[in-house]
Amino acid sequence: MNNKQLSSAFILGALICAGLALLGYLISGGIIHIKSLERTVTVKGLSEKEVPADIAIWPIKFNEAENDLNLLFSNIESKNGVVVKFLKEKGFEESEFSISAPSITDRFAQGYVDTGKVPFRYSGASTITVYTKNVDAVIAALKSMIELGKFGIVINTDEYNIPKTEFLFTNLNAIKPSMIEEATQNAREVAEKFATDSKSRLGKIKTASQGQFSIENRDSNTPHIKKIRVVSTIEYYLSD
């Protein structure tokens, strides 16, 4: 091999080595860059808010008992009128309540009952249900239920099968945006604190998920006040 061929081979070899070196540098730099992008922190942001209920569903149920079926129906009808008058006096409109058909039981028709020990053959139950946006009026009226006792109407709320008064919050969509914003900001503050403590810089969001909104009573004594809660989970990139 002459000197010219040796020189060409040497130059070619040098270029190949340089190319491999450059390629190795670029690959290593890319790996380091990729590694840096893989550094993340996952945090949760909480938003809570207390709001008043905007719908009340109030079932008023009372029982009657008689041996005469016609008299039973007459008594139920009369007491329904008393309850309706009570509701109107408390500020409710007729469109805000409804009267269900009475439920009648013939105890003598029940084979396991000793008819000689049953003082009244027929028992009946009537339910008047209030559905209203006037939550404050329901709360006030509940405190005045004793007035119905003066007319012989006993409202029993302790039985397991008695429907309970419900308070609902139906305007969740109006407060969702502000609560999501608050949860996101709360999560970012936590992530920034983590980044500072780890001597890193907080980068862009990698992934984010919004939890389900929950609506619960603030406590058992104030079911008309609702606690709204949402948790957002956000993953941020970290860099040096």
Contact 179, 49 (CB under 8 A): yes
The answer to whether residue 113 scores a pLDDT higher than 80 is no
Q: How far apart are CA 38 and CA 194, in angstroms?
A: 16
Cβ-based neighbours of 124, under 8 Å, separated by 6 or more: 63, 64, 65, 66, 72, 73, 76, 102, 103, 104, 105
Contact call for residues 90 and 139 (beta carbons, < 8 A): no
- CATH code for position 211: 3.30.110.170
The 10s digit of each residue's pLDDT in 60-72 is: 999 999 999 999 9
Distance from C-alpha of 187 to C-alpha of 170, rounded to nearest angstrom: 27
The rounded distance, in Å, linking the Cα atoms of 74 and 14 is: 113
Q: Kindly indicate the confidence band of residue 6, based on its pLDDT and cuts at 50, 70 and 90.
A: low
pLDDT at 12: 56
User: Looking at the structure, do residues 79 and 146 belong to the same domain, yes or no?
Assistant: yes
- Same domain (yes/no): 65, 136: yes
Structural domain range at position 235: 39-54+170-240
Q: What is the pTM of this model?
A: 0.76
- Residues 47, 92, single domain; the answer is no
For the chain, the straight-line distance linking the first and the last C-alpha, in angstroms and rounded, comes to: 54
**Domain end position, chosen among 141, 168, 195:** 168
